[in-house]
Structure 1
């Protein structure tokens, strides 16, 4: 997940959702020998040494979807895919920011439905984050989180279940 996050970070911020299939490198090389020409010698050596060495394959031409939840609900993977990863950017706020939202924002059906979102996006305590979340078919999950305010490779937080809802949604695409 750290490699995927680093790869996506190289493209900068304000990026679309990106989805990756995770496959065992040895199996991918057996199915597609020409893949060896695209991998570094270090990657090939690691794949020979570790049966569970994974290669990420970015999925292009994803179907249009109004949101991440709809996109993920429409994905399924063949048995040859050992896991899946996604990167997505989000805005996070401390709980007190949402509690401080004025009650009189024009958010009714006859008014601007995005008023609350615009208020939150303009909040001075907002933090832009990039989430890179991956799960394997056999259970393990890993998350990497980078903030725009601390946009450095050595400032990426990591953990197994940092974004439990997204982990569960990704896991469902493998069922």
Structure 2
């Protein structure tokens, strides 16, 4: 999937004289999928529990169930017709209580699911901060650190590993703007590995 329709040139303001937002660069399929999941979750605001999505090939899903077309926007149908690798995310039931790693370890997917996505909020500190081994003590250090940041991370992975099979989006709460999210292939490798392990 490429980025959405090309925006106007940067030097061409709209009718109100306001320059348009900068164009988004073309994204790889999994990066675009992670971005779509994060923006969907962002509509509910902050303080949400982790959310998991199954990723299915849209064209295959339509071939298996033609009635699905009535539930998809026309632009999604057009993208799926043009791109057999197009992915549709299907949100799963709310995750049970427990550590995220333990909960993910209990998930299994049927063969029709091509990948999975996860959106989760975290508090992070600079990587050079020395955290105690005790979880409670480490949490206290993080909570008290002046450079702590609340972030929302969305990770999308395909069942198989390899180049282009992971996409990540990170949004900082203090920069809560669609144009200020960070998008990359594998920005949070540990989380991506835990999500991909659900296909083991």
User: Normalization by structure 2: what TM-score?
Assistant: 0.76
In structure 2, relative to structure 1, the CA distance for the partners of 1:114 and 1:28 (3 Å cut) is: same
Deviation at 1:158, TM superposition (A): 1.2
- The ranges of structure 1 where at least 4 consecutive aligned residues each deviate by more than 6 angstroms after the TM superposition are none
Q: Contact 1:21–1:85 at 8 Å: present in 2 too?
A: yes
**Matched residue count:** 163
State how far apart, in whole Å, the 2-side matches of 1:40 and 1:81 are: 21
The residue aligned with 2:6 is none
The residue aligned with 2:147 is 125
Deviation at 1:131, TM superposition (A): 0.5
Secondary structure of the residue that 1:134 maps to in structure 2? strand
The residue aligned with 2:79 is 46
In structure 2, relative to structure 1, the CA distance for the partners of 1:48 and 1:95 (3 Å cut) is: closer
- In structure 2, the gaps of 5 or more residues are 1-33
The residue aligned with 2:117 is 85
State how far apart, in whole Å, the 2-side matches of 1:167 and 1:116 are: 23
Query: In the TM superposition, what are the counterparts of 1:1-175 in structure 2 within 5 Å?
Result: 1-62=34-95, 64-98=96-130, 114=136, 116-139=138-161, 140-175=165-200
Q: Deviations over 1:148-167 (max 9, x none)?
A: 01110011111111111111
Q: Contact 1:132–1:145 at 8 Å: present in 2 too?
A: yes
* Higher mean C-alpha deviation, range 9-18 or range 25-34: 25-34
